[in-house]
Amino acid sequence: MNWIQKNLFSRRGQATTEVVLLFPFFIIFILFVVKIFGLLVLSQKMEVAGFYAARRFQLQSHETPYYQRTWDKRFLEKDIQEKVEAYLGFNNPDMRKFLSLNDLKMNIERSGTWIHLTLTARTNPPRIRFLCNYNKDQICEHDALCLKGYAFLCDTGGEITINKYIGHNERPNPYALPMDK
């Protein structure tokens, strides 16, 4: 036992040069993990917000054209969008910065059978300086996936879209047995 303690505790530490050289790579890795985690959080929050917006619109919207043009457009859609923006973090500066939120667009299209709700959240590019200082043509060499990743990191940011189809809030016909007819 004494021999093991002597060998373990008599060793010298890791060379400082290796630690100093690997530290920037560790920081870059952490930045990417945090940004990817933020996108995953935003994606999940968009799904929940899409369900909320669809369900609330289904339950509170009107079938009458007059109310569709007035109350639904003026109040209901704006109120739903405000609640969704608050849930996603547009009102909180720290959450907005963490998720790189830029703007949110909610579009509702009515048709005969379904109501189509689309939520689109646009994010700002993270713009990590030491990655965006280089020419994208030299780095990517016309690789489509590389160009898309470079555009997300340095130029345009990203866009997450959620589509929900809503049925009309109609009362179902009462169940009629075939023998009742």
pLDDT tens digit string along 101-137?
Answer: 999 999 999 887 788 999 999 998 876 677 778 888 8
Q: Taking the model in full, what pTM does it have? A: 0.72
Alpha-helix residue ranges (DSSP H) falling in 11-164? 16-60, 65-67, 77-88, 93-98, 129-132, 136-140, 144-150
Confidence of residue 3 (pLDDT cuts 50, 70, 90): low
Which two three-digit tokens encode residue 7? 């060998």
Half-sphere CA count of 43, side-chain side, radius 13 A: 7
In sequence order, what are the residues at sequence separation of 6 or more whose Cβ sits closer than 8 angstroms to the Cβ of residue 50? 117, 119, 162, 163, 164
Lowest mean pLDDT among 5-14, 68-77, 85-94, 160-169: 5-14
How many Cα atoms within 13 Å fall on the side-chain side of residue 166?
A: 25
What is the number of other CB atoms lying within 10 angstroms of the CB of residue 17? 8
Give the pLDDT band of residue 27 (cuts 50, 70, 90): confident
Overall average pLDDT of the 69-97 stretch: 92
Tokens 């923006």 found at: 85
Phi, psi (5° rounding) for residue 10? -95, -5
CA distance linking residue 153 with residue 178, whole number of Å: 62
Whose CA is closest to 115, among 161, 68, 57?
A: 57
Percent of the chain predicted with pLDDT > 90: 28
